[in-house]
Structure formats: structure tokens, C-alpha cells
Amino acid sequence: MKKIQVIGGSGFIGSNLINRIKNKFTVCNIDKANSSEFASITTVADVRDKEKMNETLQPSDWIVLLAAEHRDDVTPVSLYYDVNVEGAKNVLAIMNDKKINKILFTSTVAVYGLNKKNPDESFKEDPFNDYGKSKWQAEEVLRNWYNEDAANRTLIILRPTVVFGPKNRGNVYNLLKQISSGKFLRIGKGNNKKSMAYVDNITSFIEYCLTKDLTGYHLFNYADKPDLTTNELLQTVEKFIGKKLPRVRIPYVLGYTGGLAFDVFSKITGKKTSISSVRVKKFCATTEFSSSKINATGFKPAYDLKDGIKITIEAIQKENN
């Protein structure tokens, strides 16, 4: 049975992945936080602590590197680079010492930037924030590692768009929760397209890669199709919650200015809020990405995008009740 070590498996995507593969492979989890679901197979270690990681990481068939600083409001911004870039360097150095030659790394479509026209994997990188920049730098570190011994190493880089699903507390979950509770305000015209990824589908694709035991270098965008405009997303949510949303719209400039005001409030008080200028900017931007390379692998997701939205909304409604 293959041995898989998941680094950063205590979070949303990692917990879903471990639950999916735990009976198929021998799985260990390494994370800076213990796992509420898989404590028995979890060792607490931070990717920034090379000595502790060296004690913890053991020879295995695959490393799945999920650990990352990814929130929009991480402070100081140096944490993005300490965790995402230097952490990757630490993991690769230990892999070299322990002769582990296969790694799957979750990057992000944020490396392409905003308002690009459906970029595929050949598209030029143009990250707009420190999260995207740090992930792009980490990718380069990993590619250099692979190229040092390409004949014997395997590197899979997965660039998912925004991932959502039950138990997640990220931007999509917060958006769906606001809509379901009636505390949602429309900002902008709503014609911008949004690529999204349902968590069960993306972890199923990771399982697919591990099961197929891919070799060589592979770069994949991940998004569940078809993409929806913001207006279509809102219409889908209306259908599943069974009520109409307010039709009042706030112009983008006014909404963005409001986000800046929340930024100032957070900086002064030290309190993080669910509204920020970056989140308004991302919400109103086109974030549409091609995932045609995944289609070419033969992988078939179990859920379509609207199925994932429905399941997530049902989980939110159950939680609210």
C-alpha cells in the first residue's frame, strides 16, 4: 500500500482529502495545528521549522503539500513568503535527504492575476497580491528541484480556483451564508464570470493523480464547469434557498470605497472583518480559468458546480437551524 504524507492536512481541503484516501493508502498528516478529525495520524509541526519537519517527515511514496498562508488579510505580509516559499524549500531539502521523489503541490490561479480572459496553463503569470506572488515563487522553487533530476522525480502542480463546500469558512462560504441570511448587498453589475471548485471534486482529482501514480512534470488548473456570472450565481442561490434577493445594487466605486474604510478600521482596531477592499475587488473581478488539461486526463468529477452549491447551501441552512 502506498504511503502518502499530507503536509497541511488539518484544514478544509486536507481533511476532505484524508477522509477520501485514508482507506486506500497509508496516510500521515503533518500540520502546525492538530486535526479535529484525524488526530491519531497527525503530527504537529510547522513547515517553517526545518528541524522539527526533518524529525517528522519519513520516507514515503508521495508528499502532498497543502500547507499555505492564504487568507486575504494575513499580517505581516512576510508570512506569505516565510510559509509558502521558505516552507516549500524546507520540505524539498528534507525530501532530498530522505530520497522522496514525488510531490503534489497545491498552488493557486491567483498567479494569473485578475480580469484575465480564461487563462490556461500556458498563460503568463501576473499575480496581483502577495499570496499569488508567494505561490508563484514557490512553484519556481519546485520546478528547479524537479529539473535537477527530472529523470527520477515527479512534480504535480495544481492551481485551483476558489474552493468551497460544507465546513469551509472561506470567501464563498461567507458569501453563500450572507445570501442565505438576507444580509447580502449586490456590488457592481454582476456580469463578471467566476470559476469555482467544489471540494469533493478537487480532492477526488488529487486522489486520481495519486492512484494513477503519474510521473514527470504536470501543471493543472482546476475549476468545475461551466463557469457562472455573479448574476447567475445569485440566481442559482435564490432557487436553492427559495426566496428572492434584494435587487438594490451598489456601484463598484462605492463598494470598493466602503472596503477601504473597513481596511482602515481593521488596521486601527486590529480586528479582522468579513469585508475588505481586496474582497470587493475579487468579488467584482472576472476570475475565469480554463481547466481543459484536466479533461484530457480522463478524470470525471462526481458533482457539477450547481450540485456543489446546493449541497453547501443545505449545510449552511442546517447550521443556521
The DSSP H or E segment spanning 39 is: none
Terminal Cα-to-Cα distance of the chain (whole angstroms): 42
- The rounded distance, in Å, linking the Cα atoms of 189 and 202 is 30
Q: What is the CA radius of gyration of the chain?
A: 20
Residues annotated as catalytic (active site), given as ranges: 131
CA distance 277 to 171: 13
Please tell me whether residue 173 adopts helix, strand or coil conformation: helix
Residues whose CB falls within 8 Å of the CB of residue 152, separated by 6 or more in sequence, listed in order: 101
Centre a 10 Å sphere on the Cβ of residue 182 and count the other Cβ atoms it contains.
Answer: 10
- Residue showing cell 486520481: 208
What are the angstrom distances between the C-alpha of 99 and each of 88, 95, 303?
Answer: 16, 6, 37
Element at 21 (helix H, strand E): helix 12-21
* Ramachandran quadrant class, 167 (left: phi over 0; alpha: psi -120 to 50; beta: rest): left
Cis peptide before 251 (omega within 30 of 0): no
Torsion angle in degrees (nearest 10) through CA of 290, 293, 299, 305: 0
Task: Assess contact for 59 and 44: CB atoms under 8 A.
Answer: no
Instruction: Identify each DSSP E strand in 147-240 by its residue range.
Output: 154-160, 162-164, 186-187, 193-198, 216-222, 224-229
